[in-house]
Amino acid sequence: MKVLMFGWEFPPHISGGLGTACYGLTKGLASQNTEVIFVVPKAYGDEDQSAVRLVNASDVVVDSTDVDYQEFWKKITYMEIGSNLIPYVSPEKFKKYAEENRLEGTSLEETVMRAKFTFSGKYGKDLMAEVSRYALVGAGIAKKSEFDVIHAHDWLTYSAGIAAKKVTGKPLVVHMHATEFDRSGQTVNKEVYDIERKGMEEADRVITVSNFTRAIVIEKYGIDPDKIFTVHNAVEPTDKEVGGLERKVKEKVVTFLGRLTQQKGPEYFIEAAHLILQRDPNVRFVMAGSGDLMNKMIKRVAQLKIATKFHFTGFLRGAEVDKMLGLSDVFVMPSVSEPFGIVPLEAMRSNVPVVISKQSGVSEILKHALKVDYWDISGMADSIYGLLHYNSLTDMFIKYGKDEVDNLKWDNAAYKVVQVYESLFN
């Protein structure tokens, strides 16, 4: 089977778990004799392409007069006209062309002939424009490629997935790694929400990374439960040496690693740290990551007068993450709403016991992890304290946790994804 897959990032150039999951899944699919063409907005040239053929959308020339685009133009009205889909044409003028069907045939030559979009691949102020242009490029790539199934990861690529389906008639699978309710709570961005809902409505199958996320998709988006399948994420095996790193501090180290946003619950980690330090001052806390709450978190640490025991590292990637986990005694993920959560698996793989929130998808599959409600600061503090001070408890979680994670393989996740693909043709 051959899959045209749309993603927004691919290791080593990632800003979160999405790229890591895409990498693991594509490697797993390769072991299932599934060929993947993976399209990203911007490729850097140093990505691992051993299991996937990477297509750089920034290298694709869009020829608006090419006959291959005609079907796309006929159905262009499904798209949100929120930005310049074609360079040098205003959103208003483009919408007028679309409504009048003037994008068909030679009338388009009056506006633009050929274009190559240069994508930043970033999550910046021009994100919506890039999402729309990526859909345009996606339609062109689909029309010129041979494949059986379209697979789009997260809302950023749903429009590209729909465009590819419109021009080829091939079935579409959308993969929901995180919903707008996870990212923003109840104050959702309506434009993003609409894209997510449209993507899942147009899809022939929806894959969610947990039952936690599946319930949100059904309840908040009204998607038909019969076409939603849960496939839990996994973790890449490692042959790297775990532990044994020289530590410059004598205290135990407790680590938070993730984006500093409302979704990840960094404030609860700080409050739990404050409670622990009142019982045991010989602990250091590390907050590894960056995000919109960074300044607020720094101020709160200062207010609590625990700055001498608290460290902010900024964003870490690759080997830096491995090193940080190797220096940690306990890892904590206090997420308010976590569709899955791969980092606890990476921590357990590194022989680090974990405390995770019950409001996470990964809590559905882990047995050897301490689970607390994200808002239960006392429970979180007690769990961390127990893992720091009771060696028999710690040893048990390290031993059985490592075994548990080693059995969570991307090959198994990929097998379930292939079953979803095959259900489209049965």
Q: Average pLDDT of each block of 10 consecutive residues along the chain (426 residues)?
A: 88 76 89 88 76 75 53 41 34 46 38 50 65 82 91 91 92 95 84 92 97 96 97 80 68 94 94 97 95 94 96 89 92 94 91 95 94 97 96 92 89 95 94
Q: What tokens appear for 68 in the block?
A: 């291959």
Which pLDDT value is given to residue 121? 56
The angle subtended at Cα 123 by Cα 121 and Cα 126, nearest 5°, is: 85
Which pLDDT value is given to residue 108? 34
Domains delineated in the chain:
2-234+414-423 (3.40.50.2000), 252-406 (3.40.50.2000)
Task: Please give the sequence-ordered ranges of beta strands (E in DSSP) within 370-418, or none if there are none.
Answer: 370-372
Which pLDDT value is given to residue 66? 56
Which pLDDT value is given to residue 103? 41
Give Cβ neighbours of residue 114 (< 8 Å, ≥ 6 apart): 61, 62, 63, 64, 65
**Cβ(237)–Cβ(407) under 8 Å?**
no
Which pLDDT value is given to residue 33? 86
Q: Please give the C-alpha separations between residue 180 and each of 45, 82, 189, in angstroms, as whole numbers.
A: 31, 18, 7
**Cβ(329)–Cβ(352) under 8 Å?**
yes
C-alpha 164/C-alpha 202 separation (Å) is: 11
Which pLDDT value is given to residue 52? 80
Which pLDDT value is given to residue 244? 57
Q: What is the DSSP string of 141-204?
A: HHHT---SEEEEESHHHHHHHHHHHHHH---EEEEES--HHHHHTTS--HHHHHHHHHHHHH-S
